[in-house]
């Protein structure tokens, strides 16, 4: 799968070269191309923003540099990739959306920073607006990285076999508690059933715990079940 990111802060995406996503890039399970759309500004000082029509505080990102950066990507293609704009007014991101997006072959992700983007650019190129949650950040870069991470781990070969099948949300529940050695830590013992080797009982215990934790912390997840 290929991701192109349109941003004014391409260096922020260097963190994706670590750990699991870094390995997925190395092994070419995913391709990440980060484009600084400032390079597509045609004015001498490379400005990409201007004051808002109608007045008010802050600046608005001009449509043309983003459009030209977008065109530089899609001009070489014989298909149209899905374009996502990270924004608090988008649909709130969840695991279901991450799984659906992992079936795409190419995504272009637009990040705003400080300020908004001219609405006409959004109308012209954006297919979907996505929010990572109901809070305001300084830029769309971290939301884009969260989306790339959550989508990528559902792509075949990015994680080891089976590791997404039992985790939080895969069955609509939060994760059951996990334990490793030692058998006793600060007077707290590992639950007996986990040492029993009885796989059916272990599975039953884990399911009960997952249900109990979900009921207590996120009853909203159980509503449509």
Residues that bind ligand 4GS (CB under 6 A): 86-88, 112-114, 131-133, 135-140, 143
- Distant-in-sequence, close-in-space partners of 34: CB < 8 Å, separation ≥ 6: 4, 5, 7, 10, 13
Provide the minimum distance between the beta carbon of 138 and ligand 4GS in the complex, in angstroms, as a whole number: 6
100 close to 70: Cβ distance less than 8 angstroms:
no
Which C-beta is closer to ligand 4GS: that of 53 or that of 79? 53
- The dihedrals phi and psi of 35, each to the nearest 5 degrees, come to -115, 125
Which C-beta is closer to ligand 4GS: that of 63 or that of 172? 63
23: region left, alpha or beta (phi > 0 left; psi from -120 to 50 alpha): alpha
Provide the minimum distance between the beta carbon of 184 and ligand 4GS in the complex, in angstroms, as a whole number: 43
The CA-CA-CA angle for residues 154, 127, 37, to 5°, reads 90
Other beta carbons within 10 angstroms of residue 35's beta carbon come to 18
Provide the minimum distance between the beta carbon of 188 and ligand 4GS in the complex, in angstroms, as a whole number: 38
Which C-beta is closer to ligand 4GS: that of 64 or that of 129? 129
Provide the minimum distance between the beta carbon of 62 and ligand 4GS in the complex, in angstroms, as a whole number: 16
Which C-beta is closer to ligand 4GS: that of 30 or that of 109? 109
């Amino acid at each position: 799968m290929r991701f192109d990111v349109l941003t004014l802060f391409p260096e922020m995406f260097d963190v994706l070269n670590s750990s699991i996503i870094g390995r997925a890039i190395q092994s070419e399970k995913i391709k990440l191309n980060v484009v600084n759309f400032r390079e597509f500004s045609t004015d001498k000082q490379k400005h990409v923003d201007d004051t808002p029509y109608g007045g008010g505080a802050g600046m608005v990102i001009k449509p043309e540099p983003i459009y030209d950066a977008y065109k530089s990507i899609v001009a070489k293609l014989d298909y149209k990739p899905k374009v996502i704009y990270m924004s608090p007014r988008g649909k709130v991101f969840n695991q279901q959306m991450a799984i659906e997006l992992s079936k795409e072959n190419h995504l272009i992700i637009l990040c705003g920073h400080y300020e908004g983007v001219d609405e006409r650019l959004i109308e012209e190129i954006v297919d979907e607006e996505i929010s990572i949650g109901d809070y305001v950040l300084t830029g769309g870069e971290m939301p884009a990285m969260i989306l790339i991470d959550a989508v990528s781990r559902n792509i075949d070969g990015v994680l080891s076999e089976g590791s997404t099948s039992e985790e939080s949300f895969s069955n609509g529940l939060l994760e059951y508690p996990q334990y490793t050695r030692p058998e006793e830590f600060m007077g707290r013992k590992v639950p007996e059933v986990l040492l029993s080797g009885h796989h059916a009982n272990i599975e039953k215990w884990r399911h009960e715990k997952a249900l109990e934790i979900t009921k207590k912390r996120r009853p909203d997840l159980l509503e449509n079940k």
